[in-house]
Structure 1
């Protein structure tokens, strides 16, 4: 069995690692100390697709597998575990809404949630 990342997975991991180094790690301790919810940083994460990783593409997400998302979350957690924990929960919520929500609810909420 080959446990190496494929080309796409490595690209996702690289982007997530760079984001973690530049946007999360330098601020994580202060966010925790100040009980700060880093809204602007989360918006940046959304611009990279990190708010809809396994939400289906037809609902505005990236449609990645749970394995692909886990690879990304692993890299993000190296920068800030608290922010990454929030992103994992956010991704679960967007997937559930996409999977089980009625069309009017999906149309009202998913575009903003996955971006």
Structure 2
């Protein structure tokens, strides 16, 4: 049973192609959660890791549609960060415009 059906925390949150300010807000909001590892990844590494992972123990966050599509293809829950200046709308399991109010309750309740 995937973690989100059990209302447990994900084991890892992978982040790629998100502005540093948003990453800082997310890290600040997730401090104190010991059972989840926060992983910043470069685009090339994400492609390789997602291709092999095929796991629902992670949540993937990105503003790159190619990587979000890859996550969907391998059945990894994905949250898109929609940059305010973007003309196109990203597609993922969920789309956010900022991480000011995102905490672990958000991850367990919504993804």
TM-score after normalising by structure 2:
0.31
Larger proportion of strand: 2
Larger proportion of helix: 1
